[in-house]
Amino acid sequence: MTIEQPSEEDRAQASPKSIEKMRKFVRNFADKSGSFLHPQPEITEFLVIGLAKNIDELGKPLCPCMFFEDKQEELDKKFWICPCEEMQRWKYCH
């Protein structure tokens, strides 16, 4: 199965500065935590865009894979553990 590359429209959802910041964050997190980037690079890129969008909108890299009814409430909890089965089982973010 293949996924399309993120489009310019996808990338336009976040600032280039935040995208680059989250790209570095994701690489560093994988290196330090013993986890991995997704084997399909386009999935990692969509993750980076989602994190960057949340940085721009909320000031924090809230997980873009989850639906939060109230994102600000979630941020206020200051407790974000990735609940994704893929991360726990395969050690890479989807």
Please enumerate in sequence order all residues whose Cβ is within 8 A of that of 51, keeping only pairs 6 or more positions apart, or say none: 22, 25, 26, 61, 62, 63, 64
Catalytic amino acids?
65
Please enumerate in sequence order all residues whose Cβ is within 8 A of that of 11, keeping only pairs 6 or more positions apart, or say none: 19, 49
3 state DSSP class of 25: helix
Cβ-based neighbour number of residue 4 at 10 Å: 8
